[in-house]
Amino acid sequence: MGLKNSKAGMIPEEWDVQNFSDTFRILNNNTFSRAELNYASGPFKNIHYGDVLILFPEVLDCTRDDVPFINEEARISGSAQTLQDGDIVMADTAEDETVGKVTEVMNTSRKPVMAGLHTIACRVKSGEFVPKWLGYYMNSHLYHDQLLPYIHGTKVSSVSKGSLGDTAIIVPSPKEQERIVEALFDIDNLITDLSRLIRKKKDIRQGTLQLLVTGKQRLNGFDDEWITQPLEKLCELITDGSHESPAECMDGFYMPSVKDMTDNGFDFTDCKRISKYDYERLLANGCKPEIGDVLIAKDGSMLKYVFPVKENSNIVILSSIAILRPKKNILNSSYLTYYFRQPRFVEHVINSNQTGTGVPRIVLKNFKKIELHIPRDSKEQKAIADILADMDVEIWSLEKKVKKAAAVKQGMMEELLTGKVRLV
């Protein structure tokens, strides 16, 4: 079995190739904004381009709870068309080269579904495709790389309907399509099941957090009263990082900002690096967190990320991150982290820190005054934090499994959709 050259690259000789314009006809979409959608009810479900880019997989089960409805009062154009199983929906706008991401729809019969704002909806008019093949193929680099010359825009990237016409659609035999799809869908199901379990575990964790951190449910063996104190009375230090941003240098010293924060620490992959001279200079200014400090996202993503410092690293932080140093034996840093993750607390902080600058940020002079209701006994604080930390470890373990499965799937797509590995 040999290979041949095609618009999409080298593919098996037995596979056919046809143009996008010969394969699809374009359907009419609507232009409803996110504000005109809801997750409760409505006459039609709606596929928003943002969900295609970030949330929805290559093949979308339209009965999912996270496919929104069009609001009852919205006026739907008579020209907008409903989708059928096997239709594909492409996001024609994005902030980067993810533009052109596709989802193929299935299970559209229970509730009518439409393609929404900034999407290109297509229906097969010629060619024999098994369900799910187009969803997987059109999200592979084999197809997406063909779009790169047609992406235009500076702040926002877009592709037009007219530019798609000459892109190549690969058509293996139906039998081979089916085998490829089965292999990919099996690992998709694993990822879906794991993701569903993670969401369930997170809901349980959040419910437990609300009960324990607020004192609505007490742990056995602890009966001391709780106290209410302003944050500044419970911490030795409340400050932010450096307002100076030195030149980048490839030395082994890092200067993370909010963009480098995750739920449980820094991701240094794209973190700014600075010289040893600048590191030591900023070190003297108190911009280095210590073990036991709690770091919070201060600017742009208020309290989106909060975590305690667990190890000593060669880092100094930028001013978009705040450092809190709890008083020892009075406030446990892990407990404080979970306290800050309460949705009601986050909402309170956001409402009390409206700066009017257009960039949401925590104003530390206000933040210091916020009162916390906490166990007087730091041992009770630690016991609460330990329970929640154990739940987090379980969630992070599942998330690692999802990442591993996603990497395996990516490798399978590279091998199977290009014909490097044949399932015949």
- pLDDT tens for 282-328 read 988 888 999 999 999 998 778 889 999 998 889 999 999 999 999 99
On whether residue 11 sits in a domain, the answer given is no
Say if residue 394 is in the same domain as residue 318: no
Find the mean pLDDT for residues 24-38.
Answer: 94
d(CA 164, CA 130): 22
Residues 308 and 325 in one domain: yes
- 274 and 384 assigned to the same domain: no
Same domain, 284 and 311: yes
State the residue range of the domain holding 159: 16-171
Q: Answer yes or no: is pLDDT of 356 > 60.
A: no
Q: Is residue 210 part of a domain?
A: no
Domain contains 5: no
Residues 113 and 163 in one domain: yes
Over 60: is that where the pLDDT of 336 sits? Answer: yes
Same domain, 186 and 89: no
Beta-bridged to residue 167, according to DSSP, are none
In whole angstroms, give the CA distance from residue 58 to residue 101.
Answer: 8
CB atoms within 10 A of CB 265: 17
pLDDT, position 355: 59
128, 154, 171 — which closes off a domain? 171
Q: How many domains does the chain have?
A: 3
In a domain, 319, yes or no: yes
Both tokens assigned to 25: 């006809």
**pTM across the whole model:** 0.78
Residue 213 lies in a domain: no
| Mean pLDDT to the nearest integer, 273-281 | 92
> Are both 239 and 348 inside the same structural domain?
yes
Q: Are residues 268 and 247 in the same domain?
A: yes
Residue 395 lies in a domain: yes
> Is 215 contained in some domain?
no
Q: Do 252 and 355 sit in the same domain of this protein?
A: yes
Q: Which band of pLDDT confidence, cut at 50, 70 and 90, is reported for residue 357?
A: low
User: What is the spatial distance between Cα 39 and Cα 37, in angstroms, rounded to a whole number?
Assistant: 7
Report the pLDDT averaged over residues 333-341.
Answer: 95
